[in-house]
Amino acid sequence: MFYLIQLLNAVQYGLLLFLLSSGLTLIFGIMGVINLAHGSFYMIGAYLAYWLAKTTGSLWFALPFAVLIAFGIGLLLETTIFSRLYKRDHLYQVLLTFGLILIFEELRSIAFGDDVHGVAVPALLNFSIPLTDTLSYPVYRLFVTLVCLVIAGLMYFVIHKTRTGMKIRAGNSNREMAAALGVNMPLLFALVFASGVALAAFAGAIAAPISSVFPGMGNHILIICFVVVVIGGIGSINGALIASLAVGLADTLGKVIAAEYSAIAVYLVMAVILLWRPQGIANRA
Amino acid sequence: MPNITLTRVPLIVALVLLVLFPLVSSTFYLQLGAKIMIMAIFALSLDLLVGHAGMVSLGHAAYFGVAAYALALISPKYEAANLWLTLPAAIAAAAVAALVIGALVVRTAGVYFIMATLAFAQMIYAVFHDTKIAGGSDGIYITVRPDLGIAGFKPLNLENPSEFYYLALISLAVVFWFLNRLLHAPFGRALAGIRTNEQRMRSIGYPVFAYKLAAFVLAGALAGLAGYLAACQFGFVNPDILAWHQSGIVLMMIILGGMGRLHGAVIGAFAYIFLQEIFSAPALVGVYAKHWQLLMGALILAIVLLLPHGIGGFVDIAVRRHRYRHPGVARDQP
């Protein structure tokens, strides 16, 4: 039973990582931009959920509004800043998005202070399923897992079965060719970028009741997402899914076996993958 | 021939000014000056990778931090450690860390390299932050600064700020000279070749992987020197010194000064710390002093979007324009 709980936690964490890293990997695959500020969008989502849940009194209102606001922020950032970065060297992309992190962190500090805040689980889902006499599993975590699965399914559908998805795949495999064939690339870029931001913010918002909201929460998750992208291979959604689950599992197992060293387990998985397939599991050399 | 001596004039003037600085400076500015020179060594080590070998590392603070921790861990608790033993040990620790991580990350390129260097640096951060081997998140104090005594002769006393300043200055000068020689030696030319066209260098028969790994280890070792000196100066080590913010900051320094020029790294370190002092001075920026990173972030955005070649590049372009308008003045060599 204990291991069932750990497995459920691993899957939930892995799917949450997938929401973040799929946006990161698509933004890189299509626009060629390495975005360090992706973790900040996760943080923004969490703080929006905290703030909206506090003012409206319910997480159910907070979630859609947080996603909408994040989508707007994404569009704004893409048109004003990121669209100027596409042709620049990675070095400048790193530097600029590093600058954005500093700005978002400080704005967060000005607006919300530096304390840790909790977000209440909605009353509807605020109970646990008893598994044995002493162990039980909170329903909200199951709900998060389910929602992430639905979103992953929706993403699969959009990317593989719709016209927009076809354009995204075309842009991912060959940007110039897709543009030459008449795909409106600036529009596609804006759409993909804003969707990536919205997904990251949604992940932050839905995880807020579990992890609570705190300063620097975006940075840790960003680096874990980088690990996911390195393992999965850049631009690959399937790779991101497999790698997210692997990292979720490694992290949870690490915590069970040796709590102090749990953070290292994830990086060891990455080291092995780099030795075995430096281009990621889903990409061919 | 006169060209060579002419280009050295600013360098010599700068060196003389730095040597004379302690005669007129207060302790505060001496310590700030030493801090800037230590960061300049750190920036130089990263410039070897980013500016000269074309490898954008976002985890360079790891090697800085490993050496700093090495000093903290091998120093005896209440007496001075010997610099001649601890400095090589700390640099070796940084070099070994760079060798192990480098063997993995140098296999990748481009954006993978950026992400992998960052991730492994964060792994080292996690080791020092989460486990008890070196004081965890609280860090450790180095109560007594290392001793330079060798066979009864003691050239510098590091407890004295001006003598510590000279140690930093000597280290910076040696590193600058060494890198300058290295980059003009066949090794440096090969790195430049790899940066421009890795494929071609490989087909000529250069062992590209070995060259890149050697550069990575060397950069790690030099970052270790900077980390050792920083640990000496502050007498305190905690996980923050190897956090990835530190890696971002040093990357910013070399871009501020202009990449691929050794003096650029030094100017960038100076400019960054100067700006940080201004942005965090309540007298100058008022309530924003507490939130100085906001101003720094805005400055980064402005530099990337408006000055694509850094401050150093901006000056270069201005000089070129000046020469274009005044063709009588000697031009750059082709």
The residue that leads in pLDDT, B309 or A196, is A196
Nearest to A73 by CA among A99, A95, A50, A45: A45
Query: Looking at the partner chain, which of A84, A85, A227 has a beta carbon nearest the beta carbon of B119?
Result: A227
Interface size between A and B, measured as CB pairs under 8 A: 127
pLDDT value at residue B192: 92
Range B71-87 average pLDDT = 81
Which one-letter DSSP state was computed for residue A58?
-
Yes or no, beta carbons of B297 and A103 under 8 Å apart: yes
Q: Which amino acid is at A141?
A: R
B102 is a domain residue: yes
Question: How far is residue A282 CA from its own chain's centroid?
Answer: 19
| Cα pseudo-dihedral A33, A37, A38, A44, rounded to 10 | -150
Say how many CA atoms lie within 13 Å of B246 toward its Cβ.
22
Q: What domain count does chain B have?
A: 1
| Boundaries of domain holding A178 | 2-215
Range B8-21 average pLDDT = 83
- Indicate whether B204 pLDDT > 80: yes
The residue that leads in pLDDT, A72 or B234, is A72
B277 is a domain residue: no
pLDDT value at residue B1: 41
| pLDDT single digits (tens) B95-115 | 999 999 999 899 888 888 888
| pLDDT single digits (tens) A133-147 | 777 788 888 888 999
Alpha-helix residue ranges (DSSP H) falling in B240-309: 244-257, 262-279, 282-285, 292-306
Angle at A45 between CA A191 and CA A60, to 5 degrees: 100
Which one-letter DSSP state was computed for residue A256?
H
| pLDDT single digits (tens) A97-151 | 999 999 999 999 888 888 888 887 877 777 777 777 777 788 888 888 999 999 9
A255 is a domain residue: no
B189 is a domain residue: yes
Residue-averaged pLDDT of chain A? 86
Q: Which two tokens stand for residue B32?
A: 């700030």
Q: Which of A73-87, B13-27, B137-151 has the highest mean pLDDT?
A: A73-87
3-state secondary structure of A284: coil
Beta strands (DSSP E) in chain A are 128-130, 136-138
pLDDT value at residue B313: 64
B255 is a domain residue: no
Distance CA B279, CA B296 (A): 7
Q: Which two tokens stand for residue B296?
A: 């720094």
Asked casually if ipTM beats, i.e. exceeds, 0.90, the reply is no
A180 is a domain residue: yes
| CA Rg value for chain A | 19
**DSSP annotation string for A179-224:** HHTT--HHHHHHHHHHHHHHHHHHHHHHHHHHH-B-TTHHHHHHHH
- Indicate whether A193 pLDDT > 70: yes
At what angle are helices B292-306 and B244-257 packed, to 10 degrees? Answer: 50
pLDDT value at residue B309: 66
Residue-averaged pLDDT of chain B? 85
Q: Which amino acid is at B315?
A: V
User: Which pTM value belongs to this model?
Assistant: 0.87
For tokens 């120093």, what's the residue? Answer: B75
At what angle are helices A262-276 and B110-130 packed, to 10 degrees? Answer: 150
Banded pLDDT at B334 (limits 50, 70, 90):
very low
pLDDT value at residue B103: 92
Yes or no, beta carbons of B301 and A99 under 8 Å apart: yes
pLDDT value at residue B6: 60
B47 is a domain residue: yes
Residues from A contacting B (CB-CB < 8 Å) are: 28, 34, 81, 84-85, 88, 90-92, 94-96, 98-103, 105-107, 109-110, 219, 223, 226-227, 229-230, 234, 260-264, 267, 270-271, 274-275, 278-280
For tokens 């009588």, what's the residue? Answer: B328
Beta strands (DSSP E) in chain B are 140-141, 236-237
3-state secondary structure of A67: helix
The sign of the dihedral angle between the CA atoms of B22, B28, B31, B35 is: negative
Contacts with B308 from chain A: Cβ below 8 Å = 88, 92
| Boundaries of domain holding B63 | 24-240
Range B4-27 average pLDDT = 79
- For B286, left (φ over 0), alpha (ψ -120 to 50), or beta? left
Distance CA A212, CA A204 (A): 10
Distance CA B178, CA B25 (A): 28
- Indicate whether A18 pLDDT > 90: yes
Q: What domain count does chain A have?
A: 1
- Indicate whether B207 pLDDT > 70: yes
The residue that leads in pLDDT, A158 or B132, is A158
The answer to whether B257 and B263 are in contact (CB under 8 A) is yes
3-state secondary structure of A281: coil
> Poorest-confidence range of B35-39, B72-76, B167-171, B310-314?
B310-314
Percentage above 90 pLDDT, chain A:
25
- Indicate whether B203 pLDDT > 90: yes
Query: Which of A21, A98, A236 to mutate against chain B (most B CBs within 10 Å)?
Result: A98
Nearest to B37 by CA among B186, B176, B244, B133: B176
Query: Looking at the partner chain, which of A90, A96, A274 has a beta carbon nearest the beta carbon of B114?
Result: A90
Banded pLDDT at B307 (limits 50, 70, 90):
confident
For tokens 């689980």, what's the residue? Answer: A121
Count of positions (residues) in chain B: 334
The residue that leads in pLDDT, A33 or B8, is A33
Contacts of B138 (CB under 8 A, 6+ apart): B238
Banded pLDDT at B331 (limits 50, 70, 90):
very low
Distance CA A19, CA A67 (A): 13
Q: Which two tokens stand for residue B194?
A: 């790899």
Distance CA A66, CA A208 (A): 12
B2 is a domain residue: no
> Poorest-confidence range of A167-171, B50-54, B309-313?
B309-313
Question: How far is residue A68 CA from its own chain's centroid?
Answer: 16
pLDDT value at residue B115: 85
Contacts with A99 from chain B: Cβ below 8 Å = 296-301, 304
